[in-house]
Amino acid sequence: MAEIVSVHATSHTPVMINFPGAIPDEDRERIFAGFRQVGEEIRQARPDAVVVVSDDHVHNFFLDNLPAVCIGAAASWKSPVEHWLKIDQHELRGDVQLGGHLITSALDSGFDPAFSMALTLDHGTLAPLHLAGIAREVVVVPVLINCVQPPLPPMKRALQWGRLLGQALRSYGGCERVSVLATGGLSHDIATPRMGLVNEAFDREFLRLLAANDDARLLEHATHRVHEAGNGAEEVRTWLVAHGVADGAAFDTLYYKAVPAWYTGIGLGRWRTGSM
């Protein structure tokens, strides 16, 4: 059966890629060093595949057909879908069998994912892998949870999804080592009058509750305070998925800083799974 050898979560704002010079050099260097650390930890964990939990930013899905959760199963993935993202287009490697296992395991357990065999992945998946330096190395199984267009799946459902995915991964006999990387958040607002405002208090409390392993208060905070942290903060669902996968493992904040010039509270974290 597969071992979950690492679980991480990071912000994924494309502003980091497109406008790196918008913030002081010292901040940017520390943030990019944090991503490289995440990449090195994943590399050291030697995963056969990385399950990347992110969201589709209204590229693959539109209001005519918008799944709450979509799991990808394909041998390769085109990326990025955004012509404006300053990363060269290239293909990421995929894993049909592991994606299929997650889909069937979810259905057998009372969850109802959509699935896709032809996604063109956006910055949510690609930007963190690129900054971590592992985009061209790892095999990617995408799990996309709707964080961008209401009606949205509840925060508690994200945590349930994480627990389910953790069980499914640990029951998988097709490989030995799997990593999980969740991406998104923390507080930020896209295309609203609050754009540029970052809610550091929300972010720090969210990170504190992850470390405290207090799931009830974590869900209460995410559910009831997210509207004070911006529409981009809805992406903390991906962190809740990772938290569920980690199944009680201790959480460490690797980096946090409110970065208004990048419109975002930039966070990076790790759950102590595997040999971490």
Partner 1 sequence: MTQSNWRQIMPTAEAYWMNRVLYDIHHVDSHLQRYKADPDAYMAEVPLAAAMKAAIRDNDIGAMYLAGVNPLLLRAHCLGLRISEATFVASLRAVVHDSTGEASHG
* Cα dist from 248 to 62, 79, 108, 121, 162, whole Å: 35, 33, 24, 30, 11
Q: How far is the CB of 56 from partner 1 (least distance, A)?
A: 9
Pick one of 95, 203, 234, 235: the residue that binds partner 1 (CB under 8 A): 234
Pick one of 195, 214, 252, 275: the residue that binds partner 1 (CB under 8 A): 195
CA dihedral 105, 178, 208, 135 (to 10 degrees): -120
Asked if the bond preceding 164 is cis, omega within 30° of 0, the reply is: no
Name the residue nearer to partner 1 (CB basis): 56 or 95. Answer: 56
Tell whether residue 86 is a contact of partner 1 (CB under 8 A).
no
Name the residue nearer to partner 1 (CB basis): 61 or 115. Answer: 61
- 123: annotated active-site residue: yes
- 59: annotated active-site residue: no
Rule CB under 8 A: which of 196-225 touch partner 1?
196
Query: Contact, 142 vs 181, CB < 8 A?
Result: no
Rule CB under 8 A: which of 25-54 touch partner 1?
none
Pick one of 233, 236, 242, 245: the residue that binds partner 1 (CB under 8 A): 233
Q: How far is the CB of 69 from partner 1 (least distance, A)?
A: 18
Query: Contact, 182 vs 158, CB < 8 A?
Result: no
Q: How far is the CB of 102 from partner 1 (least distance, A)?
A: 25
Name the residue nearer to partner 1 (CB basis): 141 or 155. Answer: 155
Interface with partner 1 by CB under 8 A: which residues?
57-59, 62-63, 82, 84, 148-151, 189-193, 195-196, 226-228, 230-231, 233-234
Active-site positions read 123, 188
